[in-house]
Amino acid sequence: MSFSSSLRKSSLIAALAVFAASAALAEQEPPSAPAPAGAPATLTFPTPDPKNFSADKPTPDDVNAFLKATWGYDPNLAWQTMAIAKTPVAGISKVTVAIGQKSNPSQVGQLVFFALPDGQHIISQDEIIPFGAHPFDANRKMLQTEATGPARGSASKDLLIVEFADFQCPHCKDAQPTVERLVQDFPNARFVFESFPLPQHSEAPKAAAYGVCVQKASGDATFFKYVDAVFANQSGLTPEASDATLKDVVTKLGLDPAKISACAASPVGIDGVQASLDFARKLEVRETPWLYINGRGVPLGGIQYDQLKAIVSYQAVQDGVTAAAASGK
């Protein structure tokens, strides 16, 4: 994400170190004036001291491959591994990376993380995070198998985008135009919707259960019409009005509101929502709206569309989806 992004474990490191780097940058001098138009941006890091590379693993190439997988979508970011040092605990190495933005070369931040003995995980801040040249693969495989919510777009799961959303969440409503742009720009992608009603939203589970039953009664295409209609009428998701609001939405979709309401209150609706919740918790999703792009977690709120599109394109190419297909329109 950007230098103002927050770190989330389930972001699958989309914002790794940017959190640490932003903290370091905040302590430095204000940014200098930007370079004149047309002037090339240069970013120079200190020369690493060989004495700071006392650990055998991970190698600098391992660290670079990991950071390339994480940040390679953004040509403005640059980094340099400064140290891979032994620690008092056998097999655990302390890794220090300098990071900066080419557009603001006067500021360089620092990321520190600890590489674990298995070679597949690191500790950054208070989180254990997958490490390696393909850190998103495990989640990608899990999502391809277990993300079974309503879907649209391609039948292929080669480029799989999964949205976790809460019908009562204002940010989820605001994010839907962004999701629609992705649907249009990446016709080769498969888009899956998973409900993740947050505990502070009393009517979200009911709206999600209605969605389960709408999909079962009339299929995925009708479900996505339901999504649009519920978000459009989100102000009606109150304890006093939610029943009437949801029944009205269902009626306008041409379905029997009594049957959908009864289904939503039955184990079919309740268990369907619980399965989606359990899946989100398995992935350690912590907020909505949230996207997984071939296993890479991205917080959808606040991200610029061009940046999000660049992440989708980059991740697709990294995972072997052809550049032409990944580029969208």
Per-residue pLDDT of 21-42, as tens digits, reads 343 333 333 333 444 444 455 7
The reply to whether 2 falls in a domain is no
Does 262 score more than 90 pLDDT? yes
User: In the listed set 93, 117, 132, which residue is the last one of a domain according to the structure?
Assistant: 132
CATH number for the domain spanning 316: value is 3.40.30.10
Longest CA span, the chain? 73
Shared domain for 103 and 157, answered yes or no, is no
Cβ proximity of 130 and 138 under 8 Å: yes
Same domain flag for 194 and 298:
yes
Is a pLDDT exceeding 70 seen at residue 328?
Answer: no
- Separation between Cα atoms, residue 212 and residue 269, nearest integer Å: 6
Please identify which residue in the block is written with the tokens 């004036």: 33
Is 1 part of a structural domain of the chain?
no
Q: Do residues 108 and 128 share a domain?
A: yes
* Mean pLDDT across 225-251: 97
Spatial distance between the Cα atoms of 258 and 248, rounded to a whole number of angstroms: 11
Q: Residue with structure tokens 């959190």?
A: 19
Asked if residue 180 is part of any domain, the answer here is: yes
**Does the structure show a pLDDT above 70 at 191?**
yes
Domain shared by 125 and 151, yes or no:
no
Q: 78 and 195: one domain?
A: no
Element (H, E) at 274: helix 267-283
Contact 143/162 with Cβ under 8 angstroms? yes
Q: What is the mean pLDDT of residues 111-133?
A: 93
Are 297 and 196 in the same domain? yes
β-bridge pairing 190-195 and 121-124:
unpaired
Which strands, in side-by-side order, build the sheet including 290-293? 151-153, 190-195, 160-165, 290-293, 296-299
Residue 294, token pair as written in the block? 């071939």
Instruction: Read off the pLDDT of each residue in 9-22 and give the average, rounded to a whole number.
Output: 39
What global pTM score does this model have?
Answer: 0.85
How confident is the prediction for the chain on average, in pLDDT? 87
Regarding whether 164 and 114 lie in a shared domain, the answer is no
d(CA 6, CA 15): 7
Backbone angles phi, psi at 310, to 5 degrees: -65, -40
Place of tokens 């720009």: 185
Q: Which of 108, 132, 156 is the last residue of a domain?
A: 132
Kindly state the average pLDDT of the residues 100-116. Answer: 90
Tokens coding 66:
């990991």
Residue 221's contacts (CB-CB under 8 Å, 6 or more residues apart) are 152
Are 84 and 149 members of one domain?
no
- What does the pLDDT read at residue 41? 56
3 state SS of 113: strand
- The half-sphere exposure of 98 on its side-chain side, counting CA atoms within 13 A, is 14
**Domain with 65 in it:** 9-132
Q: Are residues 255 and 296 in the same domain?
A: yes
Does residue 190 lie within any of the structural domains?
yes
Strand partners, 160: 190
**Within a domain: 4:** no
Picking from 59, 50, 51, 63, the residue whose alpha carbon sits closest to that of residue 124 is: 63
Answer with the one of 70, 97, 132 that is the final residue of a domain: 132
> Regarding beta strands 190-195 and 127-130, do their DSSP bridges make them parallel or antiparallel, or are they unpaired?
unpaired
Tokens for 63? Answer: 């660290």
Among the listed residues 149, 153, 266, the one whose alpha carbon sits nearest the alpha carbon of residue 210: 266
C-alpha span between 89 and 247 (Å, rounded): 60
Q: Please check whether residue 152 lies inside any domain of the structure.
A: yes
Contact 112, 95 (CB under 8 A): yes
Q: Is residue 248 part of a domain?
A: yes
- The structural domain count of the chain equals 2
**Quick one: tokens of 180?**
């629609």
**In the predicted model, is pLDDT for residue 12 greater than 90?**
no
pLDDT at 269 over 90: yes
**Strand, helix or coil for residue 128:** strand
CA nearest neighbour of 76 among 100, 48, 51: 100
**Three-state DSSP state, 86:** strand
Question: What confidence tier does 163 reach under pLDDT thresholds 50, 70, 90?
Answer: very high
Rounded Cα distance, 323 and 314, in Å: 9
Same domain? For 185 and 113 the reply is no
**145 with 125, same domain?**
no
Determine what percent of the chain falls in helix, strand and coil, rounding each to the nearest 5. 45, 20, 40
